[in-house]
Amino acid sequence: MKKRFLILMILAVGLGLTLSFQPGLFPSLSTGVQSLYAQGSQESTFWVFDGHMHPISSVYRRGGTIGEPNSDPRFTLPLAAKGGLGAAFFNHSIDEFYEANHIAVKDALQQFDRFYSEIAKYPDQVGVATSGEEVRALRREGKIAAIVAIEGALALESDLGVLRMFHRLGLREMNLVHLLGNNIGDVMHSSENNGKGYGLTDYGRELVAEMNRLGIVIDLSHTAEQTVLDVMEVSTQPVTTTHSGVRSLMYSPTLPNWSDEMIRKIASMRGVICVPFLPMIVNQEYQDKWHAGRPRGSGLMGLEPLVYRGDPTKIYDFIEEKRSRGESNRGRMTQDRGRNLPPLSDYIDHIDYIVRLVGADTVAVSSDWGGYPVNIQGIENAGEYQNIAQALLGRGYSREDVAKIMGENLLRVFDEVVRTARN
């Protein structure tokens, strides 16, 4: 009798463990995490880590809230949940004009404030993460992990003390160069050094070392080739480029696409390349039609002088007038450029090229929601992330490799950078 009871208990425990790892039967995990335990299911959702987006900057500049349809309808929390988003670097974008006029730190702090107030509105849907373990904890709760990031190290105004304070406020990812070269390194559309730009400066080396020490992921998007190679030479941690494509497939001197040499180098240090949902990154015809001509300058000023010479008390009125003029053009740009979106297959070609060159451990995805106003056919809002996964499966990728590309590769890098910090 005792032996029969023991056998029944073992069978019951085994059945319980089997059921625990079936989709829909382990509610403490998000659907994306469940899918990783259910490799045989063709309908399960892959968990997504988006390497670059601007939902907070978007509502900060344009109004609204991330939980409801706003001025950029491509991203809301419900759409993101539908698409399987599990984590993302939420970028706070700082224009070069702000640094030149010594108001960049203030603007970054105001955006951080908006970030935390937005996250606090939706505690059941999203939370703040500062480490890989916190991302996983939020995954188990079925929440999106929002990670503080900055596009443009000019937000520091060249002060490493500011970097340390931003780190205390949650900063865990930052790119070094945005739209113009700076005292860290050069921008990708440089005319110097046969187009490779000048390399990492002495201050840039100090900044890289301090980001390594603190555990802040280095993003090399928009950065000139020589600076990229210099950073990868001196960084003690893996790095990323959160929105770059493949130069061999789509080349323009004004775009942040990477050469095979750069791709092999980042693979050798176990970093990742996030291929973005940006049409000009993946399609030559689109690039030639909409982005030929002179390189970009400051978002506010273009290539005009950055130092404000007007009444100091009117600088924010000046900024508002400039921004309003730009926003009035955004709607027309969205409508015009939305008629010429390249197919999803062009996007997958870039992922496929990187995988064939260096393997599936080096690729991730990014959207740029809130940044550029249009995307690619089939991934036009945050509810459509899974179309990428299905397209990869259709090309013969294993579910393990698709899971890596959709989220696990970027989580691995984020986890390693934070864990190996010496702060």
Task: Write down the domain spans for the chain.
Answer: 45-419
Task: Answer for the pair 232, 200: CB distance below 8 angstroms, yes or no.
Answer: no
Query: Can you identify the CATH homologous superfamily of domain 45-419?
Result: Metal-dependent hydrolases (3.20.20.140)
Cα 423 to Cα 420: distance, rounded to the nearest angstrom: 9
Residue-by-residue DSSP string for 156-209: GTT-HHHHHHHHHTTEEEEES--SS--SS--BTT--SGGGT-----HHHHHHHH
What is the rounded CA–CA span in Å between residue 278 and residue 373? 9
Please answer whether residues 238 and 413 qualify as being in contact, where contact means their C-beta atoms are separated by less than 8 angstroms.
yes
Tokens 């909409």 map to which residue? 290
Instruction: Print pLDDT tens along the chain (423 aa).
Output: 434 444 333 334 343 433 333 333 223 333 334 444 333 334 579 999 999 999 999 999 989 999 999 888 899 999 999 999 999 999 999 999 999 999 999 999 999 999 999 999 999 999 999 999 999 999 999 999 999 999 999 999 999 999 999 999 999 999 999 999 999 999 988 888 988 999 999 999 999 999 999 999 999 999 999 999 999 999 999 999 999 999 999 988 778 799 999 999 999 999 999 999 999 999 999 999 888 776 778 989 988 999 999 999 999 999 999 988 877 777 788 888 888 899 999 999 999 999 999 999 999 999 999 999 999 999 999 999 999 999 999 999 999 999 999 999 999 999 999 999 997
Residue with tokens 């130069």: 247
Q: Supply the pTM of this predicted model.
A: 0.89
